[in-house]
Each structure stands twice: as C-alpha cells, then as structure tokens.
C-alpha cells in the first residue's frame, strides 16, 4: 500500500481544526490550495464553510474538476464535512453544482440557519467503531434520498448524519471541532 499523504482543502472554512486533528493522528497534512499539490495527496478533507463560496473558490483555483477525477480513478479518498459534504452529493435543483460522488441529495441549511446550530449525541452504526459521540451541527445540511450504494455510518435519532460510498465519506456535522480524532483516524485507513 502507498504511503498516506493527507491534505485539507485550505481555501475557506474550518481548515485549522482539521489540520490539527490530522496532525494528532500522526500525519503531517498539506494545506491544499493549488492543483499541483493534489498529485501527492491520497486523503483529502473538504471542510465546512459556505458551499457556494467553496464552489467558486474551487473553480478559481482550478481544483473543481481535478478532485472528482482523482476520486473516480481511485487515487483519492475524501472526507467532506458540512459544506464539503454538500459538494460531494448528487446534483439537485439547489446551488451550488455538485460532484455526484455520493449518491445522496444534501439539503443546504436543512437543520436551520446559524442561530439553529446545536450539539447532540450521534450514534455510529457502521464505519468507525465510536458508539455514541458528540455531533456539532452548524448550519448543517440534511441528508435526503439516497441509493442502496450509500452506507449510513451515523444517525441523529432516525436520521442519517454521516454516509459513505466507496472512499467518499460525508458528515453533516463537524467532527473536527470535538477534540475526538477517531473519525479522522478511521478515514486515514480508507
């Protein structure tokens, strides 16, 4: 197996907390800002932030087509949190355009606006063996209709809040803000 080289898309959003989490997992993460950096990365985190802004910045920095291409060829594992998860979902009627990497519709701000942010325990039913952990939801998207190819990893009540398809993982919450690095540790093994 090739050596792991992790990166965090460092254009906007919750970059620093992801960098710290990956560092605590024993890797020296790259702050990805340019297309030439992408070739060396095996695992990439798409942080939370604002999905439309993130989409525009990805286009501006010529990364919006390269990332999905690397995923399609099996060269790159992705972890998307909040806004990053939205970009990974399937195309729908809502902006911004999506990459169709996970066969799920993500509804932006599905749990409400900024003032409706909350912290609740979530239950891990697959993937990382976490049992119950803290879920921090900030302007969080909701996971809508998905295909059988999508594995539900974690739930809030009966609602899916983390899913996986192949080497793509999407969380509607912010695991990087909890201080519990087990999601990142598990992701680095994909």
What gap in Å lies between CA 35 and CA 144, rounded to an integer?
31
Of 157, 154, 159, give the one whose Cα is nearest residue 186: 154
The active-site residue, picked from 82, 105, 171, 184, is 82
Report how far residue 94's alpha carbon sits from residue 117's, in angstroms, rounded to the nearest whole number: 21
Task: Tell me which residue has tokens 């087509």.
Answer: 65
Interior angle at CA 26, CA 173 and CA 190, nearest 5: 60
Catalytic one among 43, 171, 176, 184? 176
Tokens 């604002």 belong to residue: 50
CA–CA distance, 188 with 107 (Å, rounded to integer): 27
Candidate list 43, 55, 174, 184, residue with the active-site label? 174
176 as an active site residue: the answer is yes
For residues 142 and 41, what is the distance between their CA atoms, to the nearest angstrom? 29
Q: Where are the alpha helices (DSSP H) in 61-151?
A: 66-72, 83-88
**Which residues does the annotation mark as catalytic?**
82, 174, 176
């Amino acid at each position: 197996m090739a050596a792991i080289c992790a990166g965090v898309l460092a254009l906007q959003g919750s970059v620093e907390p992801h960098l710290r989490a990956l560092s605590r997992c024993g890797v020296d993460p790259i702050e990805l800002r340019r297309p030439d950096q992408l070739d060396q990365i095996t695992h990439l985190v798409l942080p939370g932030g604002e999905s439309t802004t993130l989409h525009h910045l990805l286009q501006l920095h010529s990364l919006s087509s390269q990332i999905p291409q690397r995923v399609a060829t099996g060269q790159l594992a992705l972890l998307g949190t909040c806004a990053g998860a939205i970009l990974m979902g399937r195309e729908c009627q809502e902006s911004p355009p999506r990459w169709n990497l996970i066969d799920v519709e993500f509804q932006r701000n599905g749990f409400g606006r900024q003032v409706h942010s909350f912290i609740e325990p979530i239950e891990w039913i697959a993937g990382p063996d976490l049992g119950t952990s803290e879920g921090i939801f900030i302007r969080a998207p909701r996971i809508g209709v998905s295909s059988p190819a999508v594995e539900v990893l974690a739930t809030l009540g009966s609602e899916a809040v983390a899913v996986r398809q192949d080497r793509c993982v999407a969380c509607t919450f912010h695991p990087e803000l909890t201080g519990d690095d087990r999601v990142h540790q598990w992701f680095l093994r994909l």
